[in-house]
Structure 1
């Protein structure tokens, strides 16, 4: 199977509510989207083209290359279809593979059973053709086979990513309750930031928002921080294609920038973690870190940039009075010290959001894990409303 040079259905997945930002990324790289849906987009491309996407995308989770689509009403029919496929042309017999799945079939009570049938079919095919078999297990760091099976419709994919793309590889120290990198990138895409004006991030935690902002503004792509992908473990892989794409990533980094990115936190440990993560990402010299109360965060005058908070949400039920006071102080800080900026607060607690004391101009929908969240946008006018032509274009779903 010449998968690296054969066009097929490719599904790029993402977390729910990130698909509009993912779609913009994919189109900006020159690809045509066939359809989009709440958790991803569909293309028709070769596996070689998936290499470029894996290295460039900030909002994606997995990039899945379809090997076959077929009907299967039960596990035995699934097995029969899969055992006929030439797995020996895709997986090295001395290699290792794992199986993942997304299954909604009335004959299956647990996806683990579907995974087992896929694994059995691949192993039995190898035994019949080669009288030997590759090893298999749960690790996603080699060849990964993915099954999508809904009712009687089944698709079998090669997961060209392996480990999720939603983690960008620079955050060696996660810190307390960190925001996933793909979500952080999407929230920044949803703002009015032009990647030139000041970016201010009080309550920075482990620094993910500030680091992602610096990476975007300097065109540093996630592929710079990672050297292992699922596509590398598929027979026919040409490593020169990967290294050529990686050279492009290095060449397109914007080195001479006049950026103002400020990240502060009351916790010395959080700021130290942020600094270390920023250094791993190669952007530590582009971010000014400071230990202080968020209300003492320096905000450049006349910058007309963005101020972004990602505070604690507390429990949805039973709001804590301490957090209520914090949310009110955030509103006061933006109103008094951030005039001319666009303010943003990411929260999963609508009751606390009411304590901010400002009227949101937009409420942009996100999920953080399974928690229903909003990015609240506030236009912080400096005496007069900003003319419409001065407001950067935006994408995103309002609610």
Structure 2
């Protein structure tokens, strides 16, 4: 990172790569290249900090600093030992290594991270007689190790905790939606941020909160100030970071006449949603209430209704009940949301057939390990020809 511009890798979830790439371009990223679950680009320290503060669909921002081919264990230990680790880590800091291995003669990521850790601590011990400690939960410095076909790349993790952990969610339901994924679903929908946004199965309110943050231009990183990985780096620029935070705070849009509404049949979920909304300081921007899904109604002639119903696989609900629920979703869309664009995010494509409406888009995504689709239904008034 001695040069003004350097390589940065932003990781994301499958299906959100193009959304993230556009977010980064808007921030000024150069040489943007879309990969699988990642976007590679070049930028400076200002962009690195800003991307952590602003990106809604990034999981981690990584800065590679070493890459080499590894033949065997001895070769790996020797090459890792050649790196000047005092440039990245001090004796008084803790560190952890996250390793990912694919198509390599090294088959176990845990073994690879252990061998790398040994080379690092041995270098410190030989030079100073002391060694830095490991902390796998809250380390000062996170290192990312990626090996593909024995080509090893080491990177500094600029984010620290995953960026999906915004900091506003203090209560969740049984199967909460990841914040990064929630933001991605809304951005994929193309919602205009002016017409109503309704989630009639809102659970703990993640979709609603992310929608409000998008509509009012609230940077997600503002909820987790001073908890980014780069704040522990030797070259951390506190003045630059403070200026970027102040700039982000100033870009928040004022309260507008915008309907962001959620409901759920479970009063405990609504209580959780209210607590999360309060934690996000969005009580004036979002309205929630206890209500059966079938009673949810459109507001105005157009808008977006989006929901993440149970899949069955993740909640253990029986097949007949799930199929009936999805049929009810389709019936409610037809009768109560005419003129709206409706979105259903689900990992149960068989049950989704019972919605009984023709999809206009089917976007492949994942929720954890579950293969999912974001289904779009255009609920025309009258016939499509009209």
TM-score, normalised by the number of residues in structure 2:
0.95
Tell whether 2:178 aligns with 1:180.
yes
Q: Which residue of 2 aligns with 1:123?
A: 121
Residue of structure 2 in register with 1:66 after alignment: 64
Q: Aligned partners of 2:168, 2:59: CA distance in 1, in Å?
A: 16
1:394 is matched with none
Instruction: Output the CA distance in 2 between the equivalents of 1:5 and 1:141.
Output: 26
Unpaired stretches in structure 1, ≥5 consecutive residues: 388-399
In structure 1, what is the equivalent of residue 240 of structure 2?
241
Contiguous gaps of at least 5 residues in structure 2? none
1:336 matched residue in structure 2: 335
What SS does the aligned partner of 1:324 have? helix
Write the distance in 1 (CA, Å) between the matches of 2:263 and 2:94: 44
Moved more, 136-145 or 53-62: 136-145
Provide the rounded CA distance (Å) in 2 between the counterparts of 1:113 and 1:53: 32
Residue matched to 2:269? 270
> What's the CA shift for 1:284?
1.9
- Separation in 2, partners of 1:173, 1:258: 28
Shift of 1:358: 0.7
Aligned: 1:155 with 2:164? no
Per the alignment, residue 10 of structure 1 pairs with 8
Match in the other structure for 1:371: 370
Instruction: Tell me, in whole angstroms, the C-alpha distance in 1 between the residues paired with 2:169 and 2:3.
Output: 34
Assess, with a 3 A threshold, how the Cα gap between structure 1 residues 235 and 252 changes in structure 2: closer, same or farther: same
Q: Is the 8 A contact 1:347 1:375 kept in 2?
A: yes
Say whether the 8 Å CA contact 1:169–1:225 is kept in structure 2.
yes
Give the conservation status (yes or no) of the 8 Å contact 1:192–1:306: no
Counterpart pick for 2:43 among 34, 42, 45: 45
Partner of 1:21: 19
Tell me how far apart the structure 1 counterparts of residues 332 and 97 of structure 2 sit (CA, whole Å): 50
Q: Corresponding residue for 2:260?
A: 261
Task: Say whether the 8 Å CA contact 1:147–1:154 is kept in structure 2.
Answer: yes
Aligned length: 384
Query: SS in structure 1 opposite 2:338?
Result: coil
8 Å contact kept, 1:141–1:163: no
TM-score (ref. length: structure 1): 0.92
Give me the CA root mean square deviation: 1.9
